[in-house]
Structure 1
Amino acid sequence: MSVTTLQDDKLQPYMGTLQSIVSELGSQKPFQSTLKSLLQTLSENHNFRRPHIVIFDPETRTLKLTLAHGLESEDSIEYEPGVGVTGQVFTTGTPVIVPRMKEHPAFLNKAFGRTDEELAELAFICVPIAIPGREGDAGEVIGTLSVDLPSDTAESLEGQTRFLEVVAGMVANHATYLQEEIARQNHMMAQGINGGELSDADAASANIIVASKSMKLVLNQVSQVGPSRATALLRGESGTGKELLAEAIHQASPRRDNPLIKLNCAALPSELVESELFGYQKGAFTGAVQDKKGLFELANNGTLFLDEVGELSPTAQAKVLRAIQEQEIQRLGSEKTLSVDVRLICATHRPLEELVEKGEFREDLYYRINVFPVFIPPLRERREDILPLSEHFLSTYAEEYERNIKRISTPAIDLLMQYHWPGNIRELKNCIERAVLVCDEQVIRTYHLPPSLQTAESTATDSNLSFCEAVAKFEQELLVDALKKARGNMLQAARDLRVSYRIVNYKVKKYGIDAKKFAVARGRTR
């Protein structure tokens, strides 16, 4: 749909709202927070009251009021498909305009507790939220977007409806996540689990920064397994953030107020891992001068995270299996059995299936810890996360080392995006820390990055480049960075570069740089 049916003098506010919505949908916030902000934007930028989203629940075959701005009551409100205005819009896939609520026989007024005076003065618009289908297919309607607004002329209400159809089309993908969340909540309730979406606070507490769909799926899996006591197995290459996800699972569980104990099974010799896990009695071996609790005891009523579980010795594997099955352990040198209530999270970068075939890992233990596997993709397969992670690390280390570094230059970002990151997030973190330490400017540039990332092309040292060509490359980088900072204002860019406007204007034309495209830039490099 198009908003061109709106009068030209009223078009600009709607375009501004659409720009805000695009920015919201492109943010890294959880989808519920994004849609809540969107509804608030509709309310604040226009005279829309009570904007709300209703989503169809395939399991109960009802429409559920899922998100609303201005709803005081938290009671669950449901609609039947085909019944009332909302139900009719969902069933037909066609918008409905109610010029005055009180005069429309199908308007049910089930939510918000509208007064008789409001019913007599307010109009109501409801548009379908549909996932686009293939060519010739109308697509699947999964919910509705509705608003209250003052009664107006038919032409004005029609224009408002066209605008809301545009908004509904923009939020359709996020609305599918809402539908999946409703289905997941139903499943969790059926299993007797009090589940919920991984909250902003939980994600922030674990410093989880994601933008890619693959990692959002991983976080969704974390929110699914977190509230249960099921054993989770985190699979992925070294440096992908398995420990942070273990923390997120713990924070999403009812055990969040109890200890989260961690052990890297590869960091200790096999003979010491057992004493660390299960503890020992005084005199159990030379040097055991007093009793010591093991990590299973310390994690009682909490969570135990075993990183690199594939490195456990056969003896330790047998004892871990018993601890999982019987919820009992024995300290080394003791015959006394201790009961423990521990939720186990394991992680490994090794192919456990191959280890089982070789007889290096117990098959029964493998099936015990592989209850809920979570596969974490390497950084090279989720490049959308590189920039937000880099900016996060830049902010962290700039503050820690007291460096006044504002952002990462565009060529440096390109270099970060092109690299294959064998060390994943850990390598990226170290890379940005080094860049912050060596940077003596307010911008991290390509030459501040480690040599392992450098290429002849990126550093302008290709043997095919002349001195003048190499200088030209550097000039273009400085110009682009200055124009981004100045939002396309060449006069301000000249001031920042401490050169005349004439020189900047000449260089911009020489290199074919379009300064206007930076006028609306919001500094994605920061």
Structure 2
Amino acid sequence: MSVTNLQDVSLQPYLGTLQRIVSEMGPQRPFQSTLKSLLKTLAENHDFQRPHLVIFDPETRTLKLSLTHTPIKQAHVEYEPGVGVTGQVFSTGQPVIVPRMKDHPAFLNRAFGRTEEELKSLAFICVPVLGPGEDDDSREVIGTLSVDTPVSEMQKLNGQSKFLAVVAGMIANHAAYLQEEMARQKHLMSQGLIAGDNVETGFIPPNIVAASKAMRLVLNQTAQVGPSRATALLRGESGTGKELLAEAIHQASPRREQQLIKLNCAALPSELVESELFGYQKGAFTGAVQDKKGLFELANKGTLFLDEVGELSPTAQAKVLRAIQEQEIQRLGSEKTITVDVRLICATHQPLEELVEKGLFREDLYYRINVFPVFIPPLRERREDILPLAEHFLSLYAEEYTRDIKRISTPAIDLFTQYHWPGNIRELKNCIERAVLVCDEHVIRTYHLPPSLQTAESTATDSNLSFCEAVAKFEQELLVDALKKARGNMLQAARDLRVSYRIVNYKVKKYGLDAKKFAVAKGRPR
């Protein structure tokens, strides 16, 4: 349901709430935190009591009270589809207004233990939450959004119901993620990998930005393998964040208090990799003037991360295989075996299967490290992550270099989303760092970006453009940025641009812009 469905309702009480909700629904925020914040906003901005979300569990075929802003009487509350007000809303897909709880035979009062007095003085509004889809006909009901509100005239209750329907439409993706997360948590608990009362829904490590469904799947897999001691194999192109995911797996494991030791197998000559991994005895070779522990020893009781494992020499591969199978190693130049307890995480951008066929990688080692493969998609295949990552790096480098840079311009954002990013996240990070260094404004614009991202069209330097056309293009860019920042308020945009309202109004008409479409933009103003 769109905001236009509120046209017969007084908008003033609700616009501020909608704008606050939109601003809090940034793609880089964990979805559970966003939903909790939304429920808090509903409780604080209106006469809504006990706002709560109920999500359908496909496995048990029941509705479960999943999130609430108010403490509940029972620890676990479930509803049957079709039973009670919540069950009726889920089954029919239609909102229900209970003018007075006490007078409605289907109202169960199961979760919050409302008093007799509250049942007499409170109304109840419940609206369906639809899953993502192209249109309402293709979307299925995945839950409900409900609130208590003081008994009032029906016209006001109808307006509140329509407002809640708009809110329910805005959180469709977040509610779908919550449903998926509930299923994942239940699976992990059934496997004994996590304790049901100690897990925070929505596994997103603090140093990882993930908005796309593909990356959330990767993070779910990370949460699954983390609590075990199984060997994980992280696969993906260079620069996709394999090292960060290795850190996340280590932090999700019982070994988090121990060391995470890292080695890039491609960073050292093959003859040095063995001595780094397994150590050496004094006198083992020229220059070995004292005993040295290898990384397997240093990682004892902890985790060892081998990046670019496909670069290991055949000899090193054989020794790593033995270390995994027998949990023991030998230092170079020594016949003594040393027992080690190491959890191994490997990563590679190479097709290991092809290396096995060519005899360049041991088949038995391949099967030993390929216990739990995690495939990390390249940045070009998860474009929803580009903008959140860019903003994250902008905040990081603006603080590091003490630059007062607020945001990224719309044309620059367009370049980010159109570019194919062969260097993935590493390239994006370097691009933002460079832009911060060269930017002398409060906004990152297209001409602050590296030449590889720029085109003649994007920078308004195409030889086919006249001087007046290039100026007009730049003028239009400034105007669009100002309207987005001001949420379509042309008077505020005029103040920000330090020109008169008349000029802004003239330019908006000249360039055929629709200021209204910026009134409630998706996400934060750009």
Give the TM-score, by structure 1 length.
Answer: 0.88
CA distance in 2, matches of 1:492, 1:162: 29
Unaligned 5+ residue runs, structure 1? none
Match of 2:223 in 1: 223
For 2:295, give the aligned amino acid.
L
Match of 2:339 in 1: 339
Match of 2:123 in 1: 123
Q: Give yes or no for contact 1:198–1:220 (8 Å, CA) kept in 2.
A: no
Match of 1:175 in 2: 175
CA distance in 2, matches of 1:517, 1:477: 16
Q: Tell me the secondary structure at the aligned position of residue 472 of structure 1.
A: helix
For 2:323, give the aligned amino acid.
A
Unaligned 5+ residue runs, structure 2? none
Match of 1:380 in 2: 380
Per-residue deviation, 1:337? 2.4
Match of 1:408 in 2: 408
Q: Give yes or no for contact 1:3–1:162 (8 Å, CA) kept in 2.
A: no
Q: Give yes or no for contact 1:6–1:156 (8 Å, CA) kept in 2.
A: no
CA distance in 1, matches of 2:84, 2:503: 66
Taking a change above 3 Å as real, the CA distance of residues 99 and 233 of structure 1, as seen in their structure-2 partners, is same
Match of 1:454 in 2: 454
Q: Which moved more, 1:15-24 or 1:113-122?
A: 15-24
CA distance in 2, matches of 1:417, 1:443: 17
Q: Which moved more, 1:189-198 or 1:174-183?
A: 189-198
Match of 2:309 in 1: 309
CA distance in 2, matches of 1:314, 1:243: 24
Per-residue deviation, 1:358? 0.8
Render the CA deviation track for 1:121-172: whole Å, top value 9, x for unaligned: 2233334434478999686443333222223345544444444344434434
Match of 2:395 in 1: 395
Q: Give yes or no for contact 1:100–1:123 (8 Å, CA) kept in 2.
A: yes
Taking a change above 3 Å as real, the CA distance of residues 61 and 388 of structure 1, as seen in their structure-2 partners, is closer
1:466 paired with 2:462, answer no
Per-residue deviation, 1:212? 2.2
For 1:181, give the aligned amino acid.
E
Q: What are the residue-to-residue correspondences of 1:105-116 with 2, within 5 Å?
A: 105-116=105-116
Taking a change above 3 Å as real, the CA distance of residues 156 and 470 of structure 1, as seen in their structure-2 partners, is closer
Match of 1:368 in 2: 368
CA distance in 1, matches of 2:486, 2:143: 42
Q: Which moved more, 1:5-14 or 1:29-38?
A: 5-14
Taking a change above 3 Å as real, the CA distance of residues 36 and 322 of structure 1, as seen in their structure-2 partners, is same
CA distance in 1, matches of 2:514, 2:137: 40
CA distance in 2, matches of 1:502, 1:377: 49
Match of 1:54 in 2: 54
Match of 1:187 in 2: 187
Per-residue deviation, 1:247? 1.4
CA distance in 2, matches of 1:154, 1:486: 35
CA distance in 2, matches of 1:485, 1:139: 32
CA distance in 1, matches of 2:192, 2:92: 36
Match of 1:35 in 2: 35
Q: Give yes or no for contact 1:277–1:295 (8 Å, CA) kept in 2.
A: yes
Q: Tell me the secondary structure at the aligned position of residue 452 of structure 2.
A: helix
Q: Tell me the secondary structure at the aligned position of residue 244 of structure 1.
A: helix
Q: 2:205 aligns with which of 203, 206, 209?
A: 203
Q: Give yes or no for contact 2:27–2:523 (8 Å, CA) kept in 1.
A: no
Match of 1:214 in 2: 214
CA distance in 2, matches of 1:325, 1:27: 43
Alpha-carbon RMSD: 3.3
CA distance in 1, matches of 2:44, 2:455: 49
Q: Give yes or no for contact 1:129–1:168 (8 Å, CA) kept in 2.
A: yes
CA distance in 2, matches of 1:303, 1:189: 24
Per-residue deviation, 1:23? 4.5
Per-residue deviation, 1:341? 2.2
Q: What are the residue-to-residue correspondences of 1:431-450 with 2, within 5 Å?
A: 431-450=431-450
For 2:436, give the aligned amino acid.
V
Render the CA deviation track for 1:306-357: whole Å, top value 9, x for unaligned: 1111111111112222222222222222222222222221111111111111
Q: Give yes or no for contact 2:96–2:127 (8 Å, CA) kept in 1.
A: yes
Match of 1:284 in 2: 284
Q: Give yes or no for contact 1:3–1:11 (8 Å, CA) kept in 2.
A: no
- Of structures 1 and 2, the one with the larger relative CO (CA 8 A, separation 6+) is 2
Q: Give yes or no for contact 2:27–2:388 (8 Å, CA) kept in 1.
A: no
Render the CA deviation track for 1:57-96: whole Å, top value 9, x for unaligned: 2333433221111115672233344544434444455544
- Number of matched residues? 523
Q: Tell me the secondary structure at the aligned position of residue 344 of structure 2.
A: strand
CA distance in 1, matches of 2:235, 2:320: 19
Per-residue deviation, 1:285? 1.9
CA distance in 1, matches of 2:421, 2:101: 58
Per-residue deviation, 1:246? 1.4
Match of 2:421 in 1: 421
Taking a change above 3 Å as real, the CA distance of residues 341 and 112 of structure 1, as seen in their structure-2 partners, is farther
Taking a change above 3 Å as real, the CA distance of residues 399 and 231 of structure 1, as seen in their structure-2 partners, is same
